[in-house]
Homo-oligomer: A and B are copies of this chain.
Amino acid sequence: MKITGTFLDEITHDIPSQNWGPDEWRRDFDAMQQVGIDTVILIRAGYRNRATFDSDVLNGHRDMLPAYTDLVDLFLTEAGMRDMNFFFGTYDAGTFWDEGDYRTEVAINKNFCAEVVDRYGDRDAFAGWYISHEINAYDEDQMVVYEELADHLRGLKDVPILMSPYIRGPKQFGEEALGLAEHVATWEQVFARIQDHVDIVAFQDGNVALTDLPRYLEANRKLAARYGLTSWSNVETFDRDVHIQFPPIDFRKLRYKIEQATAANVDKLITFEFSHFLSPNADHPAARRLHQRYREWIEG
């Protein structure tokens, strides 16, 4: 298997901007196509005061920075020209993280996504929704976000809904990490609750020790299958093991993770994300080398 999907991280949370304009993006969509990427996922349409386009809904809701370039239009156009599927990531107002206020998140997104469908709903490449609020365990309030928002999105445009949760693993949570059994138990709860609201689940694969990953991949695939969800693996191409947050991953780790996801029989591999960490056009020279190593390997 190879990686056939990537996030587009242009309203970024913690990854430095590469300051690309339309020409650089075009060139990178070409590079994606060349390695077989057929799916692009907008990581989020907006985050707090920043957005990928000048949205009337968001501007009406709070002070926003100007978007200057309509990135949704740009990405839909580039994806459309290459027969790629584009998944639209919802807006993250930040209120859930700051104040546990999920009501605002849902309320804004309902109006905002209606605006999105109004503006972009008829574009060929618009093939899915991505709910951008990442979760790692069962949480009542977050379930409501997923339920209400997913129902609303489905009503606006009936295309597959993707989520990409993370494992409450030791690399991020240290001693508060969940073990495999606890992980499975809490996700049984999650999927029992949202199985009719979400279609595809792509667990991030970077939060547990690499040598524990096979067990998690296997468990996650079975878990998803039990609830009728499609399994993708989000094969992270950045490295969580070093001081600098975050450089491209060591190719040996990437290859191992892809081999294990393949062995676990997931349906598709996507990555966070191509343009910074796996692209021949990335700023990091190590990403350009990762691209080279990856190409040598998949072209074998």
Contact = CB atoms under 8 A, between A and B. Distances in A.
B49 A14 contact: no
Nearest to A241: B14
B290 A21 contact: no
Interface in A2-32: 12, 14-21, 24
Number of this chain's copies in the assembly equals 3
Interface string A45-70: 00001100000000000111111100
Nearest to A252: B68
B286 A242 contact: no
Given A244-B244, A285-B283, A19 B65 contact: no
A210 B16 CA distance: 17
Contact of A283 (B14, B242, B255, B284): B284
Given A49-B210, A66-B256, A248 B286 contact: no
A206 to B, nearest CB: 14
Given A16-B242, A244-B244, 6 more contacts: A17-B239, A17-B249, A20-B289, A21-B293, A244-B245, A283-B285
Interface of A: 12, 14-21, 24, 49-50, 62-68, 209-211, 239, 241-253, 255-256, 283-286, 289-290, 292-293, 296
